[in-house]
Structure 1
């Protein structure tokens, strides 16, 4: 990692670019064309115009981090290209690079330099932002200007204010320029004058969020042996060091208390030496028992054979493979055995999971099989942890990267396989610039390396399903669970029915197509409790099922996609809800902290005793979140051990891993949570999955609402009965007859896809069209709307006749963080040059957008319309 460490140290000493030779002369005096570098800079220019050209030096490589001057400001950048100067370059008064961080080897390889250019063009995104996204935070080129006295001759005369600045620097030595300006803010020109006259000079120091961590280790000096007898303790420590090579003092002290003092004594006798050695920060993982390699079932073996042939060059890797397998069918074991083959070929692999909550469990399983060859990458890691894991991959010390969306950029050497688990999940799409889709990036990387791309899902997206059906993907299927274990029986509770008899349990049907089950009737909740909130949230039928699990010592997972205590606080007097002052959403009440919190911008305030609009004390809490459900569960089952897993309970570092470990070790009976518990969890004693208010996701203003509800039902249901114990599912809903719920309940998965495709065709939505969402935002509503209206007006005449533009229209949440938002949705079919046309229109409008301070966002294939 000399490039990363050495470059930073060089920059810290203020080394700049020496001898840029703007005249074009070489050392021997022969004429040579100057070398120039195209640098992606961190400035608010239109994408495509944000790559500027500078004079460079021999040895500079694309992918290096640099600092350059733009409009008299020092800004970070990435070298996108290094080339001989062209005639048009020579006609310009090019500036030299100011600082180079990577002097030996760039942090971005040739692959990532090319990939970044392609993504920036596809997404109409700033190239600098794309490159920065590929790196851990600790490696992004961030720095600060410092100032010191120059070596120029002392001035003959200084004004009093100038003398004060010089005296300040003589005392301090080197200080940040911003602090020097602050210290002399009453005379703001004095620092600038001294800089202009050359009496002060600036240099840059990089911000190192987390330096390399070191620990003291001891080792034997050569073949040294004690000339005089050692004490028993000295002999024990010396033998441990001799047999262990480099032994960390921390570990030695744990094994032999008091070893540090003994080591010092041995060092004084010349028998051992103590020195610092780099030490990696290791992410915390759940404790899972090592998992042996499992024998594949005939269905798994058939799928594995086709994938193995592709890995060995006997099959087609030009197209992705879609593994369409029911929950519990053994997809993960196939991933593990494929990676064994990849490692045997001397190659590496990337495994992507959609949620951070799944990463610890997946990493634990992979680590049990492959040990320290696994590195983990996701946003919940500390800056130092992520930096260390990235460097282990970059150095080739780890060959397998497991992580969430951003792990698709892992610097795995000789990449042979990319696995995208739960490939249907929308969380693979980045929701801020650059708005990349990790699945698309995985396809580009697989193509570059000639690697196998495997997409796995029990519920592929409609787009993936359609691509497989028309041959754009190779389709592989696993229609049964391992050892033909039955899929869980699904009971649907109709929350519309106030009183009624519970229908026989054999009326519940299996989620699996063709699996054992009965008819299609909904289970009716009964009893007095049904009339109150507790009855709506936890129907008597559900309570009976939960009680049965607790009695048998089994576990249950309860899902509700809404956190907090209540999502709405309503005033009965004026009818208004307590809203966020910065966003057009209601504040959610969190009872544990007694605060109202906005789940969009993070604003929070203490719970109010009176309506903030009319002053009435008649406030009522409406709806429910996971915090309130936890309270209800504890009231019904006071002896039950309940864990809640949502963003509120997992925000503390290590909390997520602690919850998963406790549940895995059966220290809890019920795991309650949001999307974190909905997929990927595999616990042998979970025999009941519960979905509360299953129709919540149907209420979203999104054409994918039915598809996402269907996927949710299948995924949550799949958490139960995955091992030897049979499982059941309870789905509570106000809309039991909606096709997304009814077809999932009956296991008619293919029928749902066919029906939904007809709806999509009629509405002109994907997979029959592609979408681009344009968004403008401004503190003034009219400016945001008018800016987007002008863009749409200019875009329409340049589009194909069958391309449709909807909008401008207010966004799903019209105001976020005090900025009003407007959307325009473009639906186009076969229009290959559409991105180019759109880019031209946006480029024409960019100057006015900047002048009016209007934010513009372009989102290709959007997943979120809020």
Structure 2
């Protein structure tokens, strides 16, 4: 909060002019806050949490967030004046600022990196920001008086579709012109955007209404009917309009008009008659800008009555909330956790609080939003990366204004400006998708949510059918509350899980490409019963790679130490790490042979082969390649829900929390690749994936079946999956982690050293490991070593892992020592091109 300032009044009663300074957070990776002097006339305008414009360096103009206001000038440099106040009210709340500072400290990054990730780009202005005419602006109807400078900008935008801030400065011959920009924004003459690709266009709806000349009284309207009596097609249009807009009851309803497509889409009305009425001035057409998040009407929705088990679980959660801030809800798949969430959200909203509902994947939001908007209507906001930047700003402002009491979103939602947050729900809390990898801050939204709740005085509910080992440990140790829901909702039972030994099936000639006959027959039987199938393959694309039968040549990425994956639809080879692509060759570049074959299989190949095996089946694929467009997730899910799709083939997207009534068969095609992975969490993740995808089968009284194809059915993990034995997995994992020093018994910090050349990367890593060992001791520092994929985006990699016991003392001091060692390394001329990435709690 802004500190209270004591103003001393001299004897002559003339107030002393107090010089104030503002510490600001610039959206740059700077280790410290930067201080600016506040002009006297702005003393009362600058607020903590509001944005201001400043000059940084000789030419750059940036917007930044005020973190602190005080009277102490910086000792190291002469403070420049800040240029302009952007916001009359803060856009970042006090709890947000505290959270951002915690994130910078905990995840060993800068506050600028946090604020850069937190704010939608439309809230970040710079000298390279661009302006364009507001799409709704009409010069002939503009009622605002314009100054000479404003007219000059308007003229400039007639010559060019957009101007950068730098170009505006040259046009006006001014160094400070931001008040003029602000004035045009308030008059809705211009809008600001960052990139042409993100160019803002408000949602515009074409409407029609009766010309005001015909709505003065009922007599005038009756005269219009008489005039159109001989023109039945035009009369039909007028009658339809009056049916939809009841003017005879209230003539003032005409002002709002009617969406034009409600008339033009009617097959019984003549389009030419509509256009004639507009041309003759009987109807007038106009555009209106509407919110992308229109006010939603609640209902029709009846809150489901919780089962006895659900109600008991809900009551236990509330009881724990009386004494603990965090509760873990361990509910098996299909147990009805979502109904418990909705019940708790409704209680929080009725008490006047705000709620954040976190999901790990955008794909899940479509189903959940449909259910929640029936309950909470226009009080529900949605926030994820598929939204345009301007849609994200609209949600941001809606939370600040109090319009949205409930927000559902993915990990970036932890940055939103809540002011009355009382409950956070983290669904599928075990999911690695909650971890941000690039760029900084490399945060885990689950952990951030816990701190966020602490700063807001809110409660946190973590939910999962397969909780992370760390979360379950914290619950059993008494740090968090633990509530278990061990029966499925309604009459549903857990699915029957069966292993298919593909090695034996191959010897018996029972494999049809990558499908066992048992799986194909099960799919055919399921479709015959008018039920649906989900097939899970944890790899996208057509094939992991291609190779030459003659010389064994395999195409490699130019930038990374990986083979290129083949994507048949686009007929290209693609790197899944850097995005590099090239056309698939017709012959081998090494030996000239045309004997090139694909090796392995991904979701695209599964879809392709399934269409040949089952030509009558309607098959869709859900992976990163098919869900790039904004609403593609929602469309695929809607098609499957509405039985327009028989078989859904997908990657991990299909495993997480989706609820489909008619799915009775799930097939897991390549289980072994998930188990054999060089990661201490490999068995935990495999169990979670198998159980989660299995849980999609058998809902609402229908018995489900799961077929897992494996070359090694004797793997112990399969027995635990078949018995849904989470406790068996937990006990095995926790014993191994204690023995070999892994979380939750230690904290891990991973340092990745990057350099364009291999030897300097190795030398820098050795030097850094020695510096860290000198500070932390040999027990805590492991490595360096090159990772399995040792080159990505033309950078050679080395890794160092630091393990810190939970009781290792002052964690903040240890992290400072790590930062000092890294800083000294990159300052060394020998390692000048070296970059070190610090990842706290790597996933």
TM-score with structure 1 length normalisation?
0.80
* 2:136 alignment partner in structure 1: none
- Evaluate the alpha carbon distance shift between residue 840 and residue 393 of structure 1 in structure 2; reply closer, same or farther with a 3 A threshold: same
Q: How does 1:456-475 map to 2 (within 5 A)?
A: 456-475=463-482
Confirm or deny: 8 A CA contact 1:284 1:657 kept in the other structure.
no
Change beyond 3 A, Cα 1:260–1:451? farther
| Offset, 1:631 | 1.8
Which residue, out of 16, 33, 38, partners 1:31?
Answer: 16
Give the aligned partner of residue 55 of structure 2: 69
Match of 1:859 in 2: 839
Question: Who is 1:158 aligned against?
Answer: none
Q: Secondary structure at the match of 1:483?
A: coil
Cross-structure match for 1:719: 696
Q: SS of the counterpart of 1:402? A: strand
CA displacement at 1:665 relative to structure 2: 0.6
Structure 2 counterpart of 1:164: none
User: For residues 571-591 of structure 1, what are the alpha-carbon distances to aligned partners after superposition, in whole Å with 9 as ceiling and x for unaligned?
Assistant: 233323111111111111111
Distance 2:259 2:295 in 1: 18
Distance 1:764 1:139 in 2: 44
Q: Counterparts of 1:354 and 1:731 in 2: how far apart (Å)? A: 25
Map of 1:453 onto structure 2: 460
Task: From the superposition, tell whether residues 544 and 240 of structure 1 become closer, same or farther in structure 2 (CA, over 3 Å).
Answer: farther
Cα distance in 2 between the residues matched to 1:679 and 1:171: 50
Instruction: Find the aligned partners of 2:495 and 2:371 in 1 and give their Cα distance.
Output: 24
Mapped partners of 1:299, 1:424: distance in 2: 23
Residue 144 of structure 1: which of 113, 119, 128 is its match? 128
Name the CA distance, whole Å, in 1 between partners of 2:122 and 2:550: 53
Distance 1:644 1:55, change over 3 A: same
> Is contact 2:358-2:425 (8 Å) kept?
yes
The answer as to whether partners of 1:578 and 1:611 remain within 8 angstroms in 2 is no
Bigger shift: residues 841-850 or 760-769: 841-850
SS of the residue 1:570 aligns to: strand
> SS of the counterpart of 2:719?
helix
Give the structure 1 partner of residue 435 of structure 2: 429
Which of 117, 125, 128 is the matching residue for 2:101? 117
2:617 to 640, 646, 662: 640
Query: 1:421 Cα deviation (Å)?
Result: 0.6
Is the CA contact (8 Å cut-off) linking 2:425 and 2:462 kept in structure 1? yes
Instruction: Name the SS for the 1:812 alignment partner.
Output: coil
Q: CA deviation at 1:357?
A: 0.9
CA distance in 2, matches of 1:459, 1:77: 43
Alignment of 1:440 with 2:444, yes or no, is no
Describe the superposition over 1:406-434 as per-residue Cα deviations: whole angstroms up to 9, x where unpaired: 12223344112111110000100111111
* Equivalent residues of 1:692, 1:731 under 8 A apart: yes
Moved more, 126-135 or 207-216: 207-216
- Contact 1:60–1:82 (CA<8 Å) still a contact in 2? no
1:476 aligns with 2:483: yes
Q: Which residue of 2 aligns with 1:251?
A: 259
Residue 301 of structure 1, aligned match among 284, 287, 311: 311
DSSP 3-state at the match of 2:49: coil
The CA distance in 1 between the partners of 2:455 and 2:500, in whole Å, is: 50
1:731-742 aligned at under 5 Å gives the runs 731-742=708-719
Structure 1 residue 122: deviation in Å? 1.1
Cα displacement (A) at 1:495: 1.9
Measured after TM superposition, the shift of residue 629 of structure 1 is: 0.9
Go from structure 1 to structure 2 and tell me whether the alpha carbon gap of 1:178 and 1:415 turns closer, same or farther (over 3 Å shift). Answer: closer
Structure-2 residue corresponding to 1:828: 804
Q: Secondary structure at the match of 1:490?
A: strand
SS of the residue aligned with 1:229? helix
Shift of 1:725: 1.1
Contact 2:328 2:461 in 1 (8 A): yes
Paired residues, number: 758
Contact 1:770 1:828 in 2 (8 A): yes
Aligned equivalent of 1:416, options 419, 422, 440: 422
- In 1: Cα distance, 2:555 partner to 2:835 partner: 28
Equivalent residue, structure 2, for 1:819: 795
Unaligned runs of 5+ in 1: 1-23, 148-167, 182-190, 501-525
Q: Does 1:393 align with 2:399?
A: yes
The corresponding residue for 2:323 is 316
Q: Report whether the alignment pairs 1:686 with 2:670.
A: no
Structure 1, 690-699 or 383-392: larger mean CA deviation: 383-392
Q: Distance in 2 between matches of 1:54 and 1:783?
A: 44
Q: Tell me the alpha carbon deviations over residues 249-280 of structure 1, each in whole angstroms, 9 at most, x when there is no partner.
A: 45266258888998999999xxxx99976521
Structure 2 CA distance, aligned partners of 1:465 and 1:247?
59
Return the offset for 1:241. Answer: 9.5
What is aligned with 1:837?
Answer: 817
Tell me the equivalent position of 1:16.
none
Matches of 2:165 and 2:367, distance apart in 1: 47
* Cα displacement (A) at 1:112: 1.1
Q: Deviations over 1:713-753 (max 9, x none)?
A: 10010000021211010011122222222221232221111
**Alpha carbons 2:329, 2:482 under 8 Å: kept:** yes
- Using a 3 Å threshold, how does the CA distance of structure 1 residues 66 and 376 change in structure 2: closer, same or farther? same
Indicate the residue corresponding to 2:577 in structure 1. Answer: 600
Segment of structure 1 superposing worse, 386-395 or 727-736: 386-395
- C-alpha distance in structure 2 between counterparts of 1:242 and 1:845, whole Å: 76
2:622 & 2:242 partners in 1: Cα distance?
A: 51
Aligned to 1:585: 562
1:702–1:576: structure 2 CA closer, same or farther, 3 Å change rule? farther
- Tell me if the contact between 1:430 and 1:437 (Cα under 8 Å) persists in the aligned partners: yes
Deviation per CA, 1:667-708: give whole Å up to 9, x if none: 111111111111211111100111111111123221111110
Superposed, which structure 2 residues align to 1:4-403 within 5 Å?
Answer: 30-45=15-30, 48-55=31-38, 57-58=42-43, 59-86=45-72, 89=74, 92-102=77-87, 104-144=88-128, 176=164, 201=175, 203=177, 206-207=192-193, 209-210=199-200, 213=203, 226=217, 228-230=219-221, 231-232=224-225, 233=238, 237=245, 239=247, 242=250, 248-249=256-257, 251=259, 254=262, 278-282=289-293, 291-309=301-319, 315-318=322-325, 320-403=326-409
| Residues 628 and 91 of structure 1, relative CA distance in 2, 3 Å threshold | closer
Deviation at 1:610, TM superposition (A): 2.3
Partner of 1:789: 766
Q: Give the distance between the partners of 1:675 and 1:214, measured in 2 at CA.
A: 36
Q: CA separation in 2, counterparts of 1:260 and 1:417?
A: 53
Deviation of residue 644 (structure 1)?
A: 0.9
Q: Is the 8 A contact 2:98 2:455 kept in 1?
A: no
Q: Indicate the residue corresponding to 2:647 in structure 1.
A: 670
User: How far, CA to CA, are the matches of 2:295 and 2:785 in structure 1?
Assistant: 46
Asked if the contact 2:49–2:93 (Cα under 8 Å) also holds between the matched residues in 1, the reply is yes
The Cα RMSD (Å) is 3.6
C-alpha change, 1:101 and 1:622, in structure 2 (3 Å) is same
Check whether the contact 1:138–1:210 (CA below 8 A) recurs between aligned residues. Answer: no
In structure 2, the CA distance between the partners of 1:819 and 1:475, relative to structure 1 (3 Å rule), is same
Aligned counterparts of 1:144 and 1:711: Cα–Cα separation in 2: 46
2:526 equivalent to 1:549: yes
8 Å contact kept, 1:490–1:745: yes
Deviations 1:350-392 (A, max 9, x none): 1111111111111111112222221111111223333333333
Counterpart pick for 1:748 among 707, 715, 725: 725
- Corresponding residue SS for 1:477: strand
Aligned-pair distance for 1:177? 7.9
| Aligned-partner SS, 1:496 | helix
Residues 656 and 170 of structure 1: CA distance in aligned 2, closer, same or farther (over 3 Å): closer
Tell me, yes or no, if the aligned pair for 1:219 and 1:242 is still in contact at 8 Å. no
Cα distance 1:279–1:499, how it changes in 2: closer, same or farther (>3 A)?
closer
Match of 2:228 in 1: none
Distance in 2, matches of 1:396 and 1:850, equals 54
Partner of 1:155: none
Give CA deviations for 1:818-862 in whole Å, capped at 9, x if unaligned.
111221111111232322222232333343489823222111100
CA distance in 1, matches of 2:640, 2:175: 59
